[in-house]
Amino acid sequence: MLRVLGSHKRLCNGVTRREALVAGGLSLFGLTLGDHLRAAQTPAPSAGKHFGKAKNCILLYLYGSPSQLELADLKLDAPVEIRGELKGIKSTLPGCDVCELLPHTAKVMDRVTVVRSMTHKYPIHGVAYATTGVPEIDVAMELSPHDAKHWPFIGSVVSYLEKQKGKGGPVPNNIALPFPFSSKRKGEVPRAGPYPAYLGSAYHPHFTEFIGTANRKITKTLTTDTIEFDEPYVGIDRDARFTLGEATRLPDELTVDRLDGRKSLLQQFEDARRKRERFAETDPFRAAAYSMIGNETIRTALDVRKESPKLRDQYGHTLFGQSCLTARRLVEAGSKFVTVFWDEFGLAGSGWDTHWEHYPRMKNELMPGFDKGFAGLIADLDARGMLDETLVVVLSEHGRTPKITTGKGGGRDHWSQAYTTLFAGGGTARGKVVGKTDNIGGTVTDTPVSPKDVLATVYHLLGYPADSLLTDRQNRPYPLTADAQVRDELLG
């Protein structure tokens, strides 16, 4: 646990001088002394309640946000303009039907905790709000990854805390697939979200790059424009794989082939060593990148082609499915935190952002790939005896409107008052439904859960105390999350 040093002398109001110093520092970032004291008075769950149960975590982030009414909070008795055209099917979790487009997921729901009562006040694409401790968000911040008000991505926090413990290995503790976030959409600036903020570049996620070819075409609509293009989230070739991203790729003058056989091997490593030392002084992230040169453990974990054809088929030959399989290989190789983004591809406003052609996209693009990828991951982890120690979290920034719109092809718009998330393994309950919504899936009626509660619970399961503090490069303190609590309802 990280603390601001100082004496234990108490002030006249009973607050210790240390608490006042910490709270004073936090107030610089929007938290008051009252906020700090309320957090301090909230009893922390006992360490025995699965604290530290998760050895590692795989975050599956569905950018754009799936509809809760077509995931695991179906309202089959609602009017057709609410329930839509898809039917439900029974799952292995009693009382939790899932969409008919999720037959594989239906078979693993007995190992899943479903939270139907997610809620917050920001119906925007708040990737940063969902994945960081930042107390507030707005559209301008979401479109500005370098805004000084941002807080660090959960994967960056995990990497930071592991370094404070002196823990690390050949595989980084913060890896993200399948490519740098928000880099494959056209026409707009990158979005905020998975970045280290005040922690500094040393804790930037290590993004992979996708090497492969899409073998399926799809049409997407944005307002009035409909475009057809090759879509890797629908299908990819069997030779597809992942490599280290641009920041962690070997320099042009030092290729893997040359490392393996050229006479200049020693000279190349000496050149790389000098570059690493130079970058260590000015750019710790690039220094870490260069330290991975020749790292066979990482290269092997990223090469999903080494898995059997049968297992690869189980995950599905889509960008999401093979990313999920690679994520399992990475945590198995020792990474603490791996993120798989279902990102926008081609058009901005794609991913799970179904304002238009909601049902055609659900049927032809989105649900089949998620179904096999998610179910394949849960079944594979369980079969290997890894699920109890691997936390799997399915997040998005919000849900979708209960009522279907009359836009082109029909759609569901942004809705943050009530939505659904999924959890499995790592100390969460096997087969449980948390929370309820009203009869149209629009309002939480029982056990509201905030995105910050989810982060606090993940940190708890990974073994980080709720009162841990982060520090920026000026040694100023920040909490892990603001106004959050560990949710015992999710724990097994």
Specify whether the CB–CB gap between 28 and 476 falls below 8 A: yes
Work out the pLDDT band at 5, boundaries 50, 70, 90: very low
The tokens of 253 are what? 């003058």
Work out the pLDDT band at 41, boundaries 50, 70, 90: very low
pTM of the predicted structure, to 2 decimals: 0.85
pLDDT over threshold 50, residue 2? no
- Burial class from Cβ neighbours inside 10 Å (0-12, 13-18, 19+) for residue 98 reads buried
The confidence score (pLDDT) of residue 295 equals: 76
Please count the other Cβ atoms lying within 10 Å of the Cβ belonging to residue 78.
18
Which residue, 212, 227, 181, 177, is CA-closest to 347?
227
Which residue, 434, 290, 410, is CA-closest to 362?
410
> What domains, with CATH codes, occur in the chain?
53-250+294-438 (3.40.720)
Number of Cα atoms under 13 Å in the Cβ half of residue 203: 26
Work out the pLDDT band at 90, boundaries 50, 70, 90: very high
Work out the pLDDT band at 208, boundaries 50, 70, 90: very high
Q: Mind listing the pLDDT tens digit for each residue in 409-432? A: 889 999 999 999 999 999 999 999
Work out the pLDDT band at 237, boundaries 50, 70, 90: very high
Q: Mean pLDDT over all residues of the chain?
A: 84
Q: What residues contact residue 425 under an 8 Å CB cut-off, 6+ apart? A: 54, 111, 378, 381, 386, 387, 388, 389, 390, 391, 392
Q: Mind listing the pLDDT tens digit for each residue in 435-461? A: 999 999 999 999 999 999 999 999 999
The confidence score (pLDDT) of residue 168 equals: 78
Work out the pLDDT band at 406, boundaries 50, 70, 90: confident
Work out the pLDDT band at 283, boundaries 50, 70, 90: low
Q: What is the mean pLDDT of residues 225-252?
A: 76
Work out the pLDDT band at 346, boundaries 50, 70, 90: confident
The tokens of 113 are what? 């905790």
Q: What is the mean pLDDT of residues 216-228?
A: 76
Task: Tell me the torsion sign for CA atoms 94, 97, 101, 105.
Answer: negative
Which residue, 245, 214, 211, 241, is CA-closest to 228?
214
